[in-house]
Amino acid sequence: MQEGSSGPKMTVLWCTPDHVYCAWFEGSTLVNALFLPEQLTRHLPPGRSPSP
């Protein structure tokens, strides 16, 4: 989904403890999707977690 460092920039529309709803542009098309938090946090380096 993320196309390297120059890929689309995601915007978080809303999030809950169980879901994160994001939107981004692919070209001129607006795309949105629902993710589980672990799907997004697994891209962080090991041992790091987002600050509260």
In this prediction, residue 33 carries a pLDDT of 94
Split into its structural domains, the chain has a count of 1
In a domain, 46, yes or no: no
13 to each of 23, 39, 45, 46, how far by Cα in Å? 7, 16, 24, 26
In this prediction, residue 34 carries a pLDDT of 95
In this prediction, residue 4 carries a pLDDT of 52
In a domain, 37, yes or no: yes
In a domain, 52, yes or no: no
In this prediction, residue 9 carries a pLDDT of 83
51 to each of 23, 41, 45, 48, how far by Cα in Å? 22, 12, 14, 9
In this prediction, residue 6 carries a pLDDT of 59
In a domain, 35, yes or no: yes
**Domain coverage including residue 24:** 9-41
Q: pLDDT of 1-52, one tens digit each?
A: 554 555 668 899 999 999 999 999 999 999 999 999 888 776 655 555 555 5
